[in-house]
Amino acid sequence: MSRLLLRISLLVPLLAATEAVLPLDAWAQATAPTKPASASTSPTESQSEPREETEEDRQALQAVQETFGKSVVELEQQYEGKLAEAPEAVRMLIDISRGAQMLPGEGWFGPAKSKYSLDWLLAQHQAEKGKPLAADDFRGLPHWLARIDRNKDGMVTPEDLDWSDRSPWVQRANMVTRFFRRMDPDADGLVSEGEWNGFFRRMAQGQDAIAPDDLVDALLAGTGGPGGFPPGDEPSRNVLMRGLIAGEIGSLKEGPNVGDTAPDFDLQTHDGRDSVRLADLLGKQPIVLTFGNFTCGPFRSQYPGVEAVFRRFSHEVTFISIYVREAHPKDGWKMESNTRLGVEVAQPKTYGERVSVANQCREMLKCSMPLLVDEIDDRTGNAYSGMPARLYVIDPQGKVVYKSGRGPFGFRPGEMEQALVMCLLEQHLAQQRGPAGKPTPASEKRP
């Protein structure tokens, strides 16, 4: 095994160098820096050859007219030269009409929004702006610091909190994640000892060691074309338009922003034995909301990261998962990669059907936190713009302090965890200061 790790270490520079041009799948493509095409790509540039309009085309365009009140051409004219000012759903629609394939930098995909930053953290410690925050100066609990000191060097620097595609740490992590997914044949976001050893045996083919080329072949075999989709997964423009209008590839609503009051909800648990209302949870501790669905492969692969955060902070934070509308039902943007895994369901038409699929999702992901099921009218998913997947941190006062980017590309449990830690730190320091903003006597401080 030590020789295998040596071969992997030799491959790391190769994968890093080819990351932007050799996508392993649609989700892996999301992790490579991509040049946004929405502002400069015209409809004629996005399609190799003109083709005759079909009845399916006409139906899709009619649905756009009914949903948005204008045609795509009229919306393009309205926001010409100022597309960044358009509502998120309009930006996504226009990019789809220009040939976008739901890749990073297109349409409504963008970074997370957070109340917290390194400047905020330094200000809480009266530290000099622009300098690292040393571990000895951190005023929170040690296990909090361990989650924001991402590279484990004993201090918090700008690099620790940088989740952009330009971050060297993020790029290296993406490369490792790509390798991980090739060892995870059931795509549950976990690699067992048997899966790890099975991956090595497939590469080695009876040999006791592998060479870098063997690993390259194993990682790149079966990858898709320019869009990065595996065979059978790449969508047509009309499929994307229908998915957009149906709210499957994402809610047409934008959800609350940082600083807004989190929308209230009252939803049943997956087993129907209880209901949970957000308002009843406020005033106690921070709340993490996780939105997701069964057929979204990236959500399934990333969800174990949320479970890990839950295990670390369940005694300090309230965690709620909410099952929402399916992203890739077999009667919508069906993905053959899901079919090969046995993940093949139609879009639920009744609440009972939705509960049934939610329980399939819960069982596959081994979800241990409370799982709620959104109503069939998607009221909570739309209120939070939670489709296909999204993360929120809400402070005890009910204000949104962190809102992830839209899934799949913006769904980053590690980034959410850092915001959660700073939310905990904010409450901790407020308690130390007391209600009047003055230091609380030591005997009254939280242990």
Task: Map out the domains of the chain as residue ranges.
Answer: 1-26+165-232, 34-109, 254-411
Kindly state the average pLDDT of the residues 216-238. Answer: 74
- Each residue's pLDDT tens digit, 304-328: 999 999 999 999 999 999 999 999 9
Contacts of 86 (CB under 8 A, 6+ apart): 75, 78, 79, 94
Residue 187's pLDDT is 83
Give the Cα separation of 386 and 247 in Å (integer): 10
pLDDT of residue 14 exceeding 70? no
Output 297 or 438, whichever has higher pLDDT: 297
Pairing mode, strands 318-323 and 287-292: parallel
81 — alpha (psi -120 to 50), left (phi > 0) or beta? left
- Each residue's pLDDT tens digit, 43-88: 334 444 566 778 888 898 899 999 999 999 999 999 999 999 999 9
Tokens standing for residue 170? 């993020």
pLDDT of residue 20 exceeding 80? no
CATH topology of domain 254-411: Glutaredoxin (3.40.30)
Q: pLDDT band for position 202 (50/70/90)?
A: confident
Mean pLDDT, the chain, rounded, equals 86
- Each residue's pLDDT tens digit, 250-298: 999 999 999 999 999 999 999 999 999 999 999 999 999 999 999 999 9
**Surface-to-core class of residue 14, CB atoms within 10 Å of its CB (0-12 exposed, 13-18 middle, 19+ buried):** middle
Output 394 or 213, whichever has higher pLDDT: 394
Identity of the amino acid at 267: L
- Each residue's pLDDT tens digit, 383-425: 999 999 999 999 999 999 999 999 999 999 999 999 999 999 9
Identity of the amino acid at 239: V
Which residue in 415, 326, 388 sits closest to 108, CA to CA? 388
Residue 174's pLDDT is 83
Kindly state the average pLDDT of the residues 174-186. Answer: 84
CA angle 124, 142, 111 (to 5 degrees): 60
Residue 230's pLDDT is 75
Residue 295's pLDDT is 97
Residue 438's pLDDT is 55
Q: What is residue 399's DSSP assignment?
A: B
Give the Cα separation of 44 and 28 in Å (integer): 28
> Could you tell me the CA-to-CA distances from 20 to 102, 187, 220 in Å, in that order?
16, 23, 13
Residue 214's pLDDT is 85
Residue 405's pLDDT is 96
Kindly state the average pLDDT of the residues 166-172. Answer: 90
- Each residue's pLDDT tens digit, 122-156: 999 998 888 899 999 999 999 999 999 999 999 99
Pairing mode, strands 287-292 and 155-156: unpaired
DSSP string, 65-94: HHHHSS-HHHHHHHTTT-GGGS-HHHHHHH
Give the Cα separation of 272 and 356 in Å (integer): 11
Give the Cα separation of 168 and 162 in Å (integer): 9
Q: Which regions of 81-202 does DSSP assign to beta strands (E)?
A: 113-114, 133-134, 155-156
Give the Cα separation of 68 and 76 in Å (integer): 12
Q: Are 30 and 406 in contact (CB under 8 A)?
A: no
**Surface-to-core class of residue 185, CB atoms within 10 Å of its CB (0-12 exposed, 13-18 middle, 19+ buried):** middle
Residue 223's pLDDT is 58
Give the Cα separation of 118 and 132 in Å (integer): 9
This prediction has a pTM of: 0.85
Q: Which regions of 65-215 does DSSP assign to beta strands (E)?
A: 113-114, 133-134, 155-156
Identify any residues that bridge with 403 across adjacent strands, giving them in sequence order.
Answer: 113, 392
Q: Are 385 and 254 in contact (CB under 8 A)?
A: yes
Identity of the amino acid at 162: D
Which residue in 220, 213, 212, 207 sits closest to 7, CA to CA? 212
Residue 226's pLDDT is 52
Give the Cα separation of 383 and 282 in Å (integer): 18
